[in-house]
Amino acid sequence: MGATVDVIKEAFPYLLQGLYMTIVISVVSIIISLVIGLIACFMRMSKYAILRYPAAIYVNLIRGTPILIQILFIYFGAPSVLDIQLSAFTAGLIAISLNIGAYNTEIFRGGIESISKGQMEAGRSLGFTYAQTMGYIVLPQAVRRMIPSFVNQLTHAIKDTSMLSVIGIAELTMVGQSIYAMNFKSFEILSMVAIMYFVTIYTVSLISTRLERRFVIS
């Protein structure tokens, strides 16, 4: 028992650093994905095929392929063709953002379409442009309904960061692997990693539940 406690004490500071990297990537990627999702949503809802089709291809392609393949493609595949260099952090951030962005696209679209069309008609009858009506009337109502879904996407982002260990990013999973590769205490280290993921994701889930009770419009 004493040996187990010593292992935990020794590993805990390093695992916290890994958790910090996991949270940073998750939060930054969810912010970027919201921008991507909103832009792609309006492209998907556009009456112009030149905007609508590329957005549809993006969403279907991302949702139809494993995120691990997307990470490897962005880090290894795309740079070899485009003759560019991406750091592991940058590639990982792009991959997670694009992946979550595709799902946010559909969340935005579903939220906007859930608002009565009469809201848009009322705004236009008051002399607002389409953009003004969307920005001042429709989107604020839709966002209130979408907040819990966005928080849930943050939990997915936290889980997905574990895949970034394949390209060497020192997030929680990668740090855990490095530690038990040295001390051979895989059970103890992986248990700690699992607990840290659980506590983080459970906390986000509790926030999501509270936001849902507070903001969701029936």
What is the rounded average pLDDT of the residues 173-180? 90
CA angle at 65 for the pair 61 and 71, rounded to the nearest 5°: 105
Sign for the CA dihedral angle at 208, 209, 214, 218 comes to positive
pTM above 0.85, yes or no: yes
- Answer yes or no: is 178 within a domain: yes
Q: How far is C-alpha 23 from the chain's CA centre?
A: 11
- Answer yes or no: is 109 within a domain: no
Q: What does the pLDDT look like over 90-146, one tens digit per residue?
A: 999 999 999 999 999 999 998 888 888 777 777 777 777 877 888 878 888 888 888
CA-to-CA separations, 80 to 67, 93, 163, in angstroms, rounded:
19, 18, 21
Looking up tokens 């928080």, which residue turns up? Answer: 151
The phi and psi torsions of 202 (rounded to 5 degrees) equal -65, -40
What is the rounded average pLDDT of the residues 154-180? 90
Closest CA to 23 of 78, 123, 96: 96
How many angstroms separate the CA atoms of 116 and 100, rounded?
A: 27
- Answer yes or no: is 36 within a domain: yes
10 Å CB burial of residue 124 (0-12, 13-18, 19+) is: middle
- Looking at residue 33, which CATH number applies to its domain? 1.10.3720.10
10 Å CB burial of residue 64 (0-12, 13-18, 19+) is: exposed
10 Å CB burial of residue 96 (0-12, 13-18, 19+) is: buried
Other Cβ atoms closer than 10 A to 195: 11
How many angstroms separate the CA atoms of 202 and 159, rounded?
A: 12
- Answer yes or no: is 134 within a domain: no
Q: Looking at per-residue confidence, does 128 or 28 come out higher?
A: 28
| Of the ranges 4-8, 14-18, 116-120, 183-187, the best mean pLDDT one | 14-18
Total domains present in the chain: 1
- Report residue 218's pLDDT band, with 50, 70 and 90 as the boundaries: very low
pLDDT above 90 covers what percent of the chain? 49
- Give residue 40's domain range: 2-104+146-215
- Answer yes or no: is 117 within a domain: no
Do residues 76 and 59 make contact, with C-beta atoms less than 8 angstroms apart?
Answer: no
Token couple for 197: 């993921």
Q: How far is C-alpha 35 from the chain's CA centre?
A: 12
- Answer yes or no: is 61 within a domain: yes
